[in-house]
Structure 1
């Protein structure tokens, strides 16, 4: 069983625990068992690749529009496209790490473990902003659940880095100031790097408002990378924590200047969980049939664009893959195909075999003389090899 399969199984175990009536106790017990598997839980070595590489990265054009509505000091960054399957935050971290082995399931499991181990700390710090932590942990146990503040904070400690949360100033309220903040690891962990992620949506703002009764909500995360010409990895990505200062305000008391500490966060923001069911329910709230039809047409176009970007991303990833990564991918493909075939009912199996035979006959009818000769030679060599093994 591969590493990704092991963490996939662990996440399934945690998800089953979250469905229990006493879900919190079940999750805590499962985390304690997982922590005993020391060989599976070595610390992650996080060295982010913060520069845009046109050969492997695809710009997320929708997220770029949202970034234009964020604060001015992040306008030079570039949002990069990642899978929009509810694991956008974890995919963003994987892209920054450029690690072909790391999976969203592993990061989700590690996040759950971190939140359970330091539950009291995270609860004291963020409950008034992100809601009850036990409910948040329960939601995180379900794969493809949209992430929130708790996950960002936990990943800071897991990766030993600061994460800058960038939130577009759309329908912005005072309570949303917490979304535009730099989150740090829990003490005594020292951050070595800083990365940035953007709260985004897979649809354009106008289309989101049509299906959510004129309200905008994020349902996706994308990483923000620096353009090549403005980025110096050795100088700018390394944190100079000694220069970080708490925001202060000057005031006068008894004719003397005094410093007043300004709290970094102002108020709470409820946790958002991505739900396709809720999206479908809210779609009925749109008031204009013309707007709905136009939105559906635009969504189909966006869907086709996303598919094209996915194909391009896969093509680039395969071009730049090492031989080891290629072999791992082929092994996973074979394992998936084998598992799928084993679970097929007899009728589907017979249909598949019939289609395979038909494809083979069609291919042989249309093959050239050279292709025919190559096939015959290959079959002859294989037969000789089989006879040699039997002898």
Structure 2
């Protein structure tokens, strides 16, 4: 059985526990047994991506519209597309971590364990903001259940990182300020990194309101990455190379002669054609 299969199985066990009439006791007992499985419960090594890379990342254009309604100091970040299957928060962490062996099931199980073993702390800190923690833990035990504040806070300790929670300022109420905060691990854990997660929706705002009595709410999470200095956005939100001047037709020898030696990354001659890879742009001309 693979690591992912083991955690998938553990999550199924926790889900069955959550269906019991004494669900809290059943979940606590299961967590105590899981923690003794040393072969799979070693701490995670979280070294997140910090910069958007168009070779592996895709912009979530709907989330980008929501980001434009968030705090001004995060609007330069890029929302990255992840699966919207109820595990969006965990998929966001997996994308940031770039670990093909990590699964949403493992992160969900680790989140449940963290909330159970430090239940008193989380309850005292967040019950007035996020509701009863025992009910939250019960819900988290079911795969693809939409995540919330408890999961964000617990993941800080699981990953040993700060998580900046970014919430669009839509239908803003005073109690929603907590959604725009930086959460940190439980002491004495020291954060090694900080990542940003956006509360989003898979539908545009107008469609959400049309289906929900003119109210808006999130149903998805996406990670936010810093833009690569090499890239920029055009008016259609398409990623562009901003530092490269593309030339469709280069007909004059002088244009090639003007290139300095350090500009040439590669040069190939042969067959009457002369090819240069110049700062990432392939240029071809016929030789005389």
Q: TM-score, normalised by structure 1?
A: 0.59
Matched, 1:86 2:91: no
Which secondary structure does the structure 1 equivalent of 2:145 belong to?
A: coil
Which has the higher Rg, Structure 1 or Structure 2? 1
Alpha-carbon distance between aligned partners in 1 of 2:230 and 2:207, rounded to the nearest angstrom: 33
More helix by share: 1
Alpha-carbon distance between aligned partners in 2 of 1:132 and 1:230, rounded to the nearest angstrom: 46
Aligned position for 1:157: 157
Alpha-carbon distance between aligned partners in 2 of 1:230 and 1:126, rounded to the nearest angstrom: 41
Alpha-carbon distance between aligned partners in 1 of 2:86 and 2:219, rounded to the nearest angstrom: 7
Aligned position for 2:23: 23
C-alpha displacement at 1:229, in angstroms?
1.0
Aligned position for 2:35: 35
Structure 1 gaps, min length 5:
232-391
The 5 A counterparts of 1:54-203 are 54-203=54-203
Aligned position for 2:53: 53
The 5 A counterparts of 1:285-324 are none
The 5 A counterparts of 1:181-330 are 181-229=181-229
Cα deviation, 1:139-191, whole Å, max 9, x if unaligned, reads 00000000000000000000000000000000000100000000000000001
Alpha-carbon distance between aligned partners in 2 of 1:210 and 1:19, rounded to the nearest angstrom: 34
Alpha-carbon distance between aligned partners in 1 of 2:12 and 2:71, rounded to the nearest angstrom: 39
Alpha-carbon distance between aligned partners in 1 of 2:176 and 2:102, rounded to the nearest angstrom: 32
Which secondary structure does the structure 2 equivalent of 1:164 belong to?
A: strand
Alpha-carbon distance between aligned partners in 2 of 1:134 and 1:92, rounded to the nearest angstrom: 25
Alpha-carbon distance between aligned partners in 2 of 1:149 and 1:34, rounded to the nearest angstrom: 24
Which secondary structure does the structure 1 equivalent of 2:162 belong to?
A: strand
Corresponding pairs, count: 231
Which secondary structure does the structure 1 equivalent of 2:39 belong to?
A: helix
C-alpha displacement at 1:230, in angstroms?
8.4
Which secondary structure does the structure 1 equivalent of 2:229 belong to?
A: helix
What CA RMSD, in Å, does the superposition of the two structures yield over aligned residues?
1.0
Which secondary structure does the structure 2 equivalent of 1:38 belong to?
A: coil
Alpha-carbon distance between aligned partners in 2 of 1:35 and 1:41, rounded to the nearest angstrom: 7
Alpha-carbon distance between aligned partners in 1 of 2:26 and 2:7, rounded to the nearest angstrom: 18
Alpha-carbon distance between aligned partners in 2 of 1:41 and 1:20, rounded to the nearest angstrom: 25
More strand by share: 2
Which secondary structure does the structure 2 equivalent of 1:126 belong to?
A: helix
Aligned position for 1:348: none
C-alpha displacement at 1:50, in angstroms?
1.1
**Would the alpha carbon gap of residues 41 and 22 (structure 1) be closer, same or farther in structure 2, given more than 3 Å must change?**
same
Structure 2 gaps, min length 5:
232-288
Aligned position for 2:254: none
Alpha-carbon distance between aligned partners in 2 of 1:113 and 1:230, rounded to the nearest angstrom: 41
Aligned position for 2:237: none
Alpha-carbon distance between aligned partners in 2 of 1:50 and 1:211, rounded to the nearest angstrom: 35
Cα deviation, 1:50-71, whole Å, max 9, x if unaligned, reads 1101011000000000000000
C-alpha displacement at 1:16, in angstroms?
0.3
* Aligned structure 1 segments of 4 or more residues deviating by more than 3 angstroms: none
C-alpha displacement at 1:4, in angstroms?
0.4
